[in-house]
Amino acid sequence: MTPTEAQHKIIALSTELEQHNYNYYVLDHPTISDYEFDKLLEELIALEKQFPEFLSENSPSQRVGGQITKNFQSVKHQYAMLSLSNSYNQEDLLDFDRRVKEGLGLDAVSSSEVKNDSKPQTSLFDAPFLDSARNDIKTKNEIEYVCELKFDGLSISLIYEDGQLKQAITRGDGVQGDDVTTNAKTIKSIPLKLKGHYPAKFEIRGEVFMPRPVFDAINKEREEIGDALMANPRNAASGSMKMQDSAQVAKRKLDCFLYYVLGDGLPHQSHFDNMHAAKTWGFKISEDAKLCSGINEVIDFINYWDKKRFDLPYDIDGIVIKVNNYNQQQNLGFTAKSPRWAIAYKFKAEQVSTELLSIVYQVGRTGAITPVANLQPVALGGTTVKRASLHNADIIEKLDVRVGDFVFVEKGGEIIPKIIGVDLTKRKPNTEPTQYITHCPECNTELKRDEGEANHYCPNENECPPQVIGKMDHFVSRKAMNIDSLGGETLVQLYNAGLVKNIADLYDLKKEQILPLERMAEKSANNLIEGLEASKQVSFERVLYAIGIRHVGETTAKKIAKKVKSLDVLIHSTKEELLAIDEVGEIIAISIADFFANQKNKDIILRLKQAGLQFELSEEQQQSGSDKLKDLTFVISGVFAKHSREHYKEMIELHGGKNSGSISKKTSFVLAGDNMGPEKLKKAESLGIKLINEDEFLEMLN
């Protein structure tokens, strides 16, 4: 290929890929399969490697990340990033509307003139606005407002020049923020190149956020491997944007809605129209924004979203109300802190007060202690609440919560309600401050708390019952040793009967020992023993995940296994060697070293080895790994003749592919055996996903 041909091809591929990105991440309407997309991207990356002179800084290849930012540059905003003043109830909103009208010299009807026989409402949530009262304030001079969702993430300012993303800056202190351009490029809904008729230079602001399902999935994985959980999607989003490695940011699957455009030469004289224009340039603009005539329609919008917000796949913490017309905005101007033409309405979390009956302390699989409040049952947000999290010792001390107190319980974005305060007017005499426990409620070991950590934990990891059972539960789980004949209840029975005290004991179990257990039939006992026997063939990488080294998740275990090839090598690896492995940072390296420094762990590993578990990569794995299935996602369904499903799964991973349990638009192929489920078949057909049989699959690898 000549350089000119390459240049043309690179431009064509980039344009095509950006369009597909837009279809997928902005319109939510993909027009090619992930497989085809990845092929195009691969082609682009290969060409850019061969002809680096044509690699542009906004190529779609930059979205995968990889660049490291050691220190984010602090840059001054061209236009200060102001915040909004807040409103919390009907009164505040009517005041805002009155101020706007007064500011514009319009004939306002003040809220005090509104005929309203009922008591003043203090919160939208406490009681709906009264239509009768609101009808009275309909006047001829209604202001046109735009109502938007108030996305709960971190605000970002994007600068475009000649249709190219030049810079992405965080809010910072409003005057100066951090240049996070490299990280912003990994957010697929942020266009790197614009379409249509855009101004030569402009700035557009919006909110970077983490969708709920992404947040839940990351936390689930963290919980599995004993990592600290992320508090909420907002913190997760802002934490992610500040990560130094943009490849890690790319994995956080952040998203971004835009809601404010600034600059000379904007096509329209109103906010709403310009946002529509921005949509045609390629930005992700919320479909839920609404043009409202007058404050009454604003209030209807707020009432609607107060209930509906829980159905959104991302968090919002209120509604933003903006005067639509730019002339009016200009006339109103700004205060030192915020525009006079806009206001935020903050949703109120539902709150109730109830009695705290007792505090119990739960011990998790990783030994973390969670204090839980038992409450006098009370209705809140459509469910009866009996328990609430008290988080940790500091929070109990800060709130000075005591048993017998009446506490305020709130249900925010979190599923588990939380205690946010004590009703001191109802405090009974002679109550004592809560003394946090000093010893484990399960095994009586003295609790520890690490420097800088919020939670206490029980260090007796190999003997404390919930920790031991939790470890075994993890060991037998599907992604680990996959012994499905050995469920959680059976493990508890085995533990209580004194038959197993650690994962190695499982392999000493005899059928005669388990038969006497309650509800244990001959067949289940056989299955259990067979399941254990079969698990001896489970690959090294999964064994490494199963033994439960803190912070070593499924992906990390795979990376380590691939690199070290055997447990012996891992045990003798230095910290530097560990740190050189992809995905392994300081915390994981220390955790691995600590694990193998513990004699009890060493004994368990030795026994597992003697039992015949795989502690090194198989010959096949060592020799035949490849990237042939890189970036492909397979769903395996049905029964196969040549190899087992498990074997196919491993082959897919061995060759760089991914396995998934359910068919979606992300699926590249369905590897279909006999008797594939009719539902799966229908879904694959409706999404146009290709089915292949085992011969075709094996062919792909040759």
Least Å distance, CB 239 to ligand IVH, is 16
Angle between helices 3-21 and 34-50 (to 10 degrees): 150
Closest CB to ligand IVH among residues 338, 374: 338
Active site residue 279: no
Q: What is the C-alpha to C-alpha distance for residues 576 and 240, in angstroms, rounded to an integer?
A: 26
Q: What is the C-alpha to C-alpha distance for residues 603 and 302, in angstroms, rounded to an integer?
A: 62
Given CA atoms 452, 456, 459, 462 in this order, what sign does their dihedral have?
A: negative
Q: What is the C-alpha to C-alpha distance for residues 189 and 283, in angstroms, rounded to an integer?
A: 7
Closest CB to ligand IVH among residues 256, 605: 256
In this structure, what are the phi and psi dihedrals at residue 437, rounded to the nearest 5 degrees? -65, 150
177 near ligand IVH, rule: CB under 6 A: no
Identity (one letter) of the amino acid at 317? D
The single residue among 299, 344, 401, 468 that binds ligand IVH, judged by CB under 6 A, is 344
Q: Are 171 and 154 in contact (CB under 8 A)?
A: yes
Residue with tokens 């599923």: 415
The single residue among 63, 98, 101, 150 that binds ligand IVH, judged by CB under 6 A, is 150
Q: Could you tell me which stretch among 82-90, 158-166, 456-464, 522-530 binds ligand IVH (CB under 6 A)?
A: 82-90
For residue 332, give both structure tokens: 């109103």
Question: Given 3-state DSSP classes, what are the helix, strand and coil percentages for the chain, each rounded to the nearest 5?
Answer: 40, 20, 40
84 near ligand IVH, rule: CB under 6 A: yes
Closest CB to ligand IVH among residues 320, 672: 320
Q: Which of 550, 572, 570, 568 is nearest to 559 (CA)?
A: 570
Q: Which of 216, 219, 223 is nearest to 548 (CA)?
A: 223
Least Å distance, CB 259 to ligand IVH, is 4
In this structure, what are the phi and psi dihedrals at residue 365, rounded to the nearest 5 degrees? -60, -30
Closest CB to ligand IVH among residues 147, 635: 147
Q: What is the C-alpha to C-alpha distance for residues 678 and 670, in angstroms, rounded to an integer?
A: 13
Closest CB to ligand IVH among residues 171, 252: 171
339 near ligand IVH, rule: CB under 6 A: yes
Q: Could you tell me which stretch among 77-85, 420-428, 439-447, 469-477 binds ligand IVH (CB under 6 A)?
A: 77-85
Closest CB to ligand IVH among residues 163, 233: 233
Binding mask 206-245 for ligand IVH (x = CB under 6 A): -x--------------------------------------
The single residue among 148, 315, 473, 650 that binds ligand IVH, judged by CB under 6 A, is 148
Q: Could you tell me which stretch among 42-50, 78-86, 611-619, 650-658 binds ligand IVH (CB under 6 A)?
A: 78-86
Q: What is the DSSP letter of 24?
A: I
298 near ligand IVH, rule: CB under 6 A: no
Q: First vs last Cα of the chain: how many Å apart?
A: 27
| 165 bridge partner residues | 160
Q: Are 134 and 296 in contact (CB under 8 A)?
A: yes
Least Å distance, CB 100 to ligand IVH, is 15
260 near ligand IVH, rule: CB under 6 A: yes
320 near ligand IVH, rule: CB under 6 A: yes
330 near ligand IVH, rule: CB under 6 A: no
Closest CB to ligand IVH among residues 332, 503: 332
The single residue among 259, 301, 314, 347 that binds ligand IVH, judged by CB under 6 A, is 259
Q: Are 157 and 175 in contact (CB under 8 A)?
A: no
For residue 219, give both structure tokens: 């936390």
Closest CB to ligand IVH among residues 151, 457: 151
69 near ligand IVH, rule: CB under 6 A: no
Closest CB to ligand IVH among residues 259, 281: 259
Least Å distance, CB 271 to ligand IVH, is 10
Identity (one letter) of the amino acid at 352? V
Closest CB to ligand IVH among residues 344, 385: 344
Binding mask 108-147 for ligand IVH (x = CB under 6 A): ----------------------------------------
Q: Could you tell me which stretch among 76-84, 419-427, 484-492, 639-647 binds ligand IVH (CB under 6 A)?
A: 76-84
Residue with tokens 């505090």: 359
How would you classify the pairing of strands 669-672 and 690-692?
parallel
For residue 526, give both structure tokens: 């056989």
The single residue among 6, 64, 82, 230 that binds ligand IVH, judged by CB under 6 A, is 82
Least Å distance, CB 351 to ligand IVH, is 23
In this structure, what are the phi and psi dihedrals at residue 179, rounded to the nearest 5 degrees? -80, 110
Closest CB to ligand IVH among residues 50, 83: 83
How would you classify the pairing of strands 350-363 and 369-380?
antiparallel
Q: What is the DSSP letter of 244?
A: S
Least Å distance, CB 95 to ligand IVH, is 18
Q: Are 698 and 627 in contact (CB under 8 A)?
A: no
Q: Which of 604, 582, 428 is nearest to 500 (CA)?
A: 604
Q: Which stretch of DSSP H or E encloses residue 423?
A: none
10 near ligand IVH, rule: CB under 6 A: no
Q: Which stretch of DSSP H or E encloses residue 75?
A: strand 74-76
The single residue among 83, 132, 330, 358 that binds ligand IVH, judged by CB under 6 A, is 83
Comparing every residue's Cβ against ligand IVH, the nearest one is 155
The single residue among 33, 87, 155, 477 that binds ligand IVH, judged by CB under 6 A, is 155
151 near ligand IVH, rule: CB under 6 A: yes
475 near ligand IVH, rule: CB under 6 A: no
Q: What is the C-alpha to C-alpha distance for residues 228 and 397, in angstroms, rounded to an integer?
A: 21
Of 150, 253, 411, 680, the active-site residue reads 150
The single residue among 254, 298, 342, 651 that binds ligand IVH, judged by CB under 6 A, is 342
Q: What is the C-alpha to C-alpha distance for residues 46 and 63, in angstroms, rounded to an integer?
A: 15
178-189: b (≥16 Cβ within 10 Å) or e: bbbbbbbbbbbb
Least Å distance, CB 151 to ligand IVH, is 4
Angle between helices 645-654 and 694-701 (to 10 degrees): 30
Catalytic residue ranges: 150
Footprint on this chain of ligand IVH (rule: CB under 6 A) = 82-84, 148, 150-151, 155, 207, 259-260, 320, 339, 342, 344
